[in-house]
Chain A
Amino acid sequence: AVGHKLYGNQYRENIVEKLRKTAEHCDCLQCFFIIHSMGGGTGSGLGTFVLNLLEDEFPEVYRFVTSVYPSGEDDVITSPYNSVLAMKELNEHADCVLPIENESLFDIVNKIHQMINSGKLGSTVKPNSMVTSGAGSAKTVQEKPFDAMNNIVANLLLNLTSSARFEGSLNMDLNEISMNLVPFPRLHYLVSSLTPLYTLADVNVPSRRLDQMFSDAFSRDHQLIQADPKHSLYLACALLVRGNVQVSDLRRNIERLKPSLHFVSWNQEGWKTGLCSVPPVGHSHSLLALANNTCVKPTFIELRDRFIKLYKKKAHLHHYLHIDGMEQSCFSEAISSLSDLIEEYNELDATKGGPRTDPSRLKIAV
């Protein structure tokens, strides 16, 4: 509440001015990336205030939000409140949201460490190829605790924008991501995964086959939130490949993986693909998969449950309510917005595996 209502209003002019100044440097402004966490006060409260601001001041510019969702053992007790309040804003004002969970980032970091420390012959990992490394960045910094995890998200954003920055035989721009992966305005939450996580340094070890990279993108442990897209329903899926990968490799892998994935009835072949010629530093090829999949539902349900646990007891509510502009209705609206979203996903899930009846076509008088 402090972030959103108090500081938001207080610093609105300043923020708008800074934004305008920066935007003026651009020949053609296409997209804003908002990077924040949901659990805290500034990122969450002021962050979503800025989101609103961007919509008002720059209505035609896309708003991509990378949100870090709180984990179960979050040290901020009121993070469920902050997150649900922020969710309402994201529902209504963001074009696309890429949820991230610290647990997943942590698991990935561990996986890489295990690989490095396993001491298996020939398993030395190229240091700058890890998805956790900040290699290629402008300066070498001392690795702080969250650095490895944050670098994963940084690499995610790099891959997302690679087609806009480099050439390729099938470009995929940011506005195309929003167009193809958001079938209905509120269902704009995309589960992301990055592969490969590292490249082995030893050239004698055959590099993991291209096809393995595609398989990994759909596996549970490569996702950046705690979710398993393979067992839920896909509304849409995008694959952005970088490096020496051609359209035939793409096609072959889509054909191979398609049968094990469940797509919604009206989008059975819902694949968006992009080919960028330039791979990331240290790799010969890489893949970013973005899925609009009902597997985000558990994350939201958990969020809702944690919120309700606190809200039922009115715990810590007074800290929020005594801020100007903040009322009980903000809370009830926020939780109902979240519940509606969960319900939309439920409805879609209900169609999974059901009988397919194609709607009858228009009849033409002969």
Chain B
Amino acid sequence: MSIVTVQLGQCGNQIGHEVFNVICGDVHGAHGLCSKKENESYHDACKERFFSEEESEVPVARAVLVDMEPKVISQTLSIAARSGYWKYDDRSHFCQKQGSGNNWANGYSVHGPRHKEIIMNLVQKEAEKCDRLGGFFTIMSMAGGTGSGLGAFVTQCLRDAFPTSFILNHVIWPYGTGEVIVQNYNSVLTLSHLYQSSDALLVHENDVIHKICAQLMNIKQISFRDVNQVIAHQLGSVFQPAYTAEGGLRYSRNPLGDLMETLVPHPEFKMLGLRNIPQMPENSLAYSTFSWPGLIKHLRQMLIANAKMEEGIDWQVRPPRLGFSIPSSPSTNKPLHFNTSIANLVILRGKDTHSVDLGTFQDPSLYTSWLNPQDAFNAWKTPRAFNKYEKSASLVSNSQFLLKPLDNVVGKAWNMFASKAYIHQYTKFGIEEEDFLDSFTALEQVISSYSIL
């Protein structure tokens, strides 16, 4: 089954391009570390998911590029074509000249309805190219105007036009100290709207990825390209083919469906976080070896302690034991915040994955009480190594990972809303104070639900 990617705004298009790059590079790389037959299987599954075979010599990405100004899309199209390995369909894009001015209301209420028909036509065309449509993957940032506002509108249209398809929104959380001053408003409006139409929101935070670039990848002058490449690597580690059942004979053909099934048992809980280890500069890979027990141990502790990356993990945090009080730090005596999960998915790629013991992830104390740990935890594996990493482990988690960031964003937006700053910019395009209040209410509800897990 194929996935149609919708790249929205500058961020969406820049990241989308890196994602296809990673996927293509991985498939063509010589570091598969597995049998030829396995490699071919992987290649075929990947191709079916992300690329279509047209008259051109190179595979064509199944993607629709949307932006309200032309520079980023034209850059993205040309860089992809120059790679020689893959390209976008030349007709599968839509852009305007004006941009959305970082204004969610402009993206949602003006550009959305105005260009709905053209954009949905492009999506329909891509969908028809698929033998079987597995769903939609949209990439957008929450901070700006196009990705966020137009993105929310497009997601709604996708839901209306394809009521039974899966929709996964990849959402970029902006830097806390601001890329856009009204980013908190835009974020609140985006999240509340996406929650209604989307099946799940997979979140990447710029601050976190920035730290990974600085501390794990040792990059001195970090550019957005570096950040986007780390994000692309993490996404690739989730979306590349894997066996979803123990002893599975064929690569899963329904990646989005499988993802939703394992991770979103209840529509109130749609926020997914992603962790991937190990992460290191490419030139260090040759000198490093990893053991699965070590990786699993770290990944589990990252889950429990809500660590954003492999460095600085707090090992003091432990899951609460039934009947015992919440564990506290011996030094400060404050209760250590333990990250409760609803559902987790671990994806293992590379050497010796068949022998890995994941029992520690099935510990019932990791999970909220209303799901069986057998249902709450799933594992996907493949012996085929990913993106030059001999062993790679990813964790997609529906847990309290995003509770604090969400609370922060809502708090800041509320603070600004109370002073009515910038509201006139939104009412100008038809988003009124009541709309803001609705969004705030919806998100407070989500925060509350995740808090009481």
B225 within 8 A of A: yes
Please classify how large the interface on chain A is, using the bins under 10, 10 to 19, 20 to 34, 35 or more. Answer: 35 or more
> In whole angstroms, how far apart are the Cα atoms of A203 and B167 in the complex?
55
A121 within 8 A of B: no
A28 engages B103 (CB within 8 Å): no
Flag A18-38 by CB within 8 Å of B: 1 or 0 each. Answer: 000000000110100000000
Quick one: given A267-B421, A366-B448, are A173 and B99 in contact (CB under 8 Å)? yes
A94 to chain B, nearest CB (A): 15
A171 engages B69 (CB within 8 Å): yes
B418 within 8 A of A: yes
Q: A8-16, A123-131, A181-189, A328-336: which lies at the B interface?
A: A181-189
A180 engages B418 (CB within 8 Å): no
Q: Which residues of A contact B177 (CB under 8 A)?
A: 251, 254-255, 258, 269, 271
> In whole angstroms, how far apart are the Cα atoms of A364 and B440 in the complex?
11
The residue of chain A having its C-beta at the shortest distance from the C-beta of B179 within the complex is A273
B222 engages A361 (CB within 8 Å): no
Task: List B residues 221-266 near A (Cβ within 8 Å).
Answer: 221-225, 227
> In whole angstroms, how far apart are the Cα atoms of A181 and B180 in the complex?
10
B52 within 8 A of A: no
> In whole angstroms, how far apart are the Cα atoms of A366 and B145 in the complex?
33
Q: Which residues of A contact B399 (CB under 8 A)?
A: none
B410 to chain A, nearest CB (A): 7
B28 within 8 A of A: no
B72 within 8 A of A: yes
A275 engages B224 (CB within 8 Å): yes
Q: Which residues of B contact A249 (CB under 8 A)?
A: 221
B412 engages A180 (CB within 8 Å): no
B175 within 8 A of A: yes
Contact of B224 among A181, A185, A247, A267 (CB under 8 A): A247
Quick one: given A249-B221, A275-B224, A361-B414, are A170 and B179 in contact (CB under 8 Å)? yes
A179 engages B421 (CB within 8 Å): no
Flag B140-183 by CB within 8 Å of A: 1 or 0 each. Answer: 00000100000000000000000000000000000111111110
Flag B67-110 by CB within 8 Å of A: 1 or 0 each. Answer: 00101100100000000000000000000111111110000000
B424 engages A361 (CB within 8 Å): no
A184 engages B452 (CB within 8 Å): no
The residue of chain A having its C-beta at the shortest distance from the C-beta of B67 within the complex is A171
Task: List A residues 175-204 near B (Cβ within 8 Å).
Answer: 175-176, 178-185
A185 engages B424 (CB within 8 Å): yes
A359 engages B222 (CB within 8 Å): no
A262 within 8 A of B: no
B444 engages A180 (CB within 8 Å): no
A169 within 8 A of B: yes
Flag A32-46 by CB within 8 Å of B: 1 or 0 each. Answer: 000000000000000
A361 engages B181 (CB within 8 Å): no
A146 within 8 A of B: no
B178 engages A270 (CB within 8 Å): yes
B411 within 8 A of A: yes
Q: Which residues of A contact B138 (CB under 8 A)?
A: none
Quick one: given A179-B425, A266-B415, are A248 and B96 in contact (CB under 8 Å)? no
A208 to chain B, nearest CB (A): 17
A340 within 8 A of B: no
Q: Which residues of A contact B121 (CB under 8 A)?
A: none
B214 within 8 A of A: yes
B421 engages A266 (CB within 8 Å): yes
A30 engages B98 (CB within 8 Å): yes
Q: Which residues of A contact B415 (CB under 8 A)?
A: 265-266, 358-359
Quick one: given A169-B14, A266-B416, are A183 and B422 in contact (CB under 8 Å)? yes
A248 engages B221 (CB within 8 Å): yes
> In whole angstroms, how far apart are the Cα atoms of A182 and B101 in the complex?
12
Q: Which residues of A contact B410 (CB under 8 A)?
A: 361
B443 to chain A, nearest CB (A): 9
B332 within 8 A of A: no
The residue of chain A having its C-beta at the shortest distance from the C-beta of B110 within the complex is A60
A179 engages B224 (CB within 8 Å): no
Q: Which residues of A contact B420 (CB under 8 A)?
A: 184
Q: Which residues of B contact A306 (CB under 8 A)?
A: none
Q: Which residues of B contact A117 (CB under 8 A)?
A: none
B424 to chain A, nearest CB (A): 5
The residue of chain A having its C-beta at the shortest distance from the C-beta of B175 within the complex is A251
Q: Which residues of A contact B71 (CB under 8 A)?
A: 167, 171
Quick one: given A167-B75, A169-B225, A176-B101, are A272 and B181 in contact (CB under 8 Å)? yes
> In whole angstroms, how far apart are the Cα atoms of A361 and B415 in the complex?
9
Task: List B residues 395-453 near A (Cβ within 8 Å).
Answer: 410-412, 414-416, 418-422, 424-425, 440-441, 444-445, 447-448, 452
The residue of chain B having its C-beta at the shortest distance from the C-beta of A28 within the complex is B97
The residue of chain B having its C-beta at the shortest distance from the C-beta of A258 within the complex is B177
Contact of B418 among A30, A167, A251, A359 (CB under 8 A): A359
B180 engages A173 (CB within 8 Å): no
B444 engages A169 (CB within 8 Å): no
Task: List A residues 50-78 near B (Cβ within 8 Å).
Answer: none
Contact of B223 among A167, A247, A266 (CB under 8 A): A247
Q: Which residues of B contact A247 (CB under 8 A)?
A: 210, 222-224, 227
Contact of A246 among B72, B176, B221 (CB under 8 A): B221
B10 within 8 A of A: yes
Contact of B412 among A185, A254, A269 (CB under 8 A): A269
Query: Looking at A167, A169, A181, A273, which has the most chain B CB atoms within 10 Å of its CB?
Result: A169
9 contacts between A and B (CB under 8 A): A167-B75, A169-B14, A179-B425, A267-B416, A269-B177, A269-B178, A270-B181, A362-B440, A366-B448
10 new A-B contacts, CB < 8 A, other than A170-B10, A176-B99, A266-B415, are A28-B98, A169-B223, A173-B98, A175-B101, A176-B180, A182-B425, A183-B421, A267-B416, A362-B414, A362-B441
Pairs of residues from A and B, 6 with the lowest C-beta to C-beta distance, nearest first: A175-B101, A28-B97, A248-B222, A271-B178, A183-B421, A359-B418
Interface residues of A (CB under 8 A from B): 27-28, 30, 167, 169-171, 173, 175-176, 178-185, 235-236, 246-249, 251, 254-255, 258, 265-273, 275, 358-359, 361-364, 366
